[in-house]
Structures are given as structure tokens and as C-alpha cells.
A = this chain, B = another copy of it.
Amino acid sequence: MSKIQIFNEKSIPNIPWEDRPDNCQDVMWRYSKNPVIPRDLIPNYSNSIFNSAVISREGQFAGVFRCDDKTRKMVLHRGFSKNGIQWELDPDPIQFKCKDEEIGNFVYGYDPRVVWIEDRYYVTWCNYYHGPTIGVGYTHDFQTFHQLENAFIPYNRNGVLFPRKINGLYGIMSRPSDNAHTPFGDIFYSQSPDMCYWGKHRFMMGPVGNSWQYTKIGAGPIPIETSEGWLLIYHGVLTSCNGYVYSAGVALLDLEQPWKVIARAKPYILSPQTLY
């Protein structure tokens, strides 16, 4: 185990860290002072703030946050933090610049991810364009954000880019959906030479019966490149008699053909057991 190497990693000395509690044998554990981001961090405005996408930059932290305002409209806000714990969020939503007026007409967006590829930070999110689909944008400086073409036709959610080109092509995971609380969902892998046109779609993996992930699954944060393959943290859903229950799990993907699953842990690594 100790020989596994994380590729392309950047040292982040000030990353918030809390050791595993005694008596805890879990692979992943909760921060004892959760929640990090209170729901009302933007006063008189935010109903809830979550599904954050945070990166380390210039010794500090920056991120894009899903913020539901008090109309329950979902929008994206940028935020900054020196230590990853105390955050300041821009009270104004991100205004993407877009060459095409129809695409740039922001209706609502949520569940952002941020990743550095080559020379800039790419942002993807679930973007409403006659249905939920995958919005794509970028920023160099977290000041100005540019919006590109949507990666897919609706209906799609959970679009997550890989942090480098693979075989000369950008790679993205997504979960094709319907237009509501979709009761099915697989992860697919798609490829693009230019971040505009996407193709060579490949099935990656689907739900697992009789388990925490039997209804649907979707990619989580940006995959981590290791010597053994891409480490993917993803979410799975089961349908209880009171609705959906979300948990998180892990899988290992082939480095060059990431839609090929090398290994997939059967247990979840995080599940909802605590009330905040």
C-alpha cells in the first residue's frame, strides 16, 4: 500500500486537517466542527450553501460555491479563504462572460466543480438550458469568469473534468438524467479535443443492486491521479421509503482509459448519520 504514489500533486501545507478520532476505523471521517460553511454565510440572502468546489491557490484557498438564495434559486458564488475554514463569499453571483448570448443567459446553476488544467481553472456545473445539462467555463484569476458551450445536450448532471488531457483529449464524466428527480443514473466518460465538441462517449459504471448505490450514481470531486489509477470519489443513492439517501464511495479507474474500472469498493466511505 505504501508504494502508491499520487501524481501531479501540489504540496498544500496549510490544508485543514484533523486526525482520525480514536475508536474510528473509517477510511474517511467527519470534521469535528462541521459545518464549515454555515447556511447563512451571505447575510439576508443565502438559504443554504453547499457542494463547494475548492482549490488551493497562491497559498490560500479559493472556490466556487452552490448557493441557494431565499427564493431557492440556485446560483454560483466565488469565495476566498486563508485557511480553508473561514470563508468570505462574494455576495454577488458569478457573472460569466459568454460569446453567445443564448448560452450565456444564466437561468440557474448548481453543483460546481473547479479544476486546473494546463493554464487555467475550469469550472463545470449543472447548468439549466432548456433542461439541466453540463455548463463549462473557466477563469484565470477568480475575478473574471468565461462561459463556453455546454458540454452536452440536456438532460445531464454531475459533470466532472479530469485534471489533464488523456491521450490528447479532455475527459469528462457525467450522469445522463431525465428532467426531474431522476430515478436512474450511470456515469459515462466523454472526450473532446477542444472543450467545445464532445464525443467518444463510454459507459463507465452503473448502480449496484441491494446496496447504498442501487438507484443511481454520479461523479464527485475531481479524480486524483495515482500510480495505481485514477481515484474517483463518487456518490450513490438508494431510495428509502422517505426518499433518496446519498452516500459516498470510491473507485479506481484505468489511467489511460478511465472508463475502465479497475476496482470499486463495495462499502460506502461516508453516509448521512449526523444532523447539522
Q: Which residues of A contact B (CB under 8 A)?
A: 23, 25-26, 39, 43-44, 47, 69-74, 102, 107-108, 128-131, 133, 149-156, 174, 176, 178-179, 181-182, 184, 186, 188, 190-194, 196-203, 206, 210-212, 238-244, 247, 266-268, 271, 273, 275
Contact = CB atoms under 8 A, between A and B. Distances in A.
Nearest to A236: B72
A97 to B, nearest CB: 18
Contacts of A26: 44
B43 A210 contact: no
Contacts of A43: 23, 25
Most chain B beta carbons < 10 A, residue from A130, A184, A193? A130
Contact of A153 (B44, B176, B268): B176
A211 B174 contact: no
Given A102-B202, A154-B176, A271 B47 contact: yes
Number of this chain's copies in the complex: 6
Contacts of A188: 130, 153-154
Contacts of A108: 210
A132 to B, nearest CB: 11
B201 A150 contact: yes
B268 A72 contact: yes
A210 B153 contact: no
A189 to B, nearest CB: 10
Nearest to A133: B201
Given A71-B267, A129-B201, A155-B176, 4 more contacts: A70-B268, A71-B266, A152-B201, A153-B190
Contacts of A203: 129-130
Contacts of A244: 241-242
Nearest to A178: B178
Nearest to A26: B44
A237 to B, nearest CB: 8
28 contacts: A72-B210, A72-B211, A72-B238, A72-B247, A72-B268, A74-B210, A129-B201, A129-B203, A130-B203, A131-B186, A133-B201, A149-B199, A149-B200, A150-B199, A151-B199, A153-B153, A153-B188, A153-B201, A155-B176, A178-B182, A181-B241, A192-B199, A194-B197, A196-B199, A196-B200, A197-B199, A197-B200, A275-B275
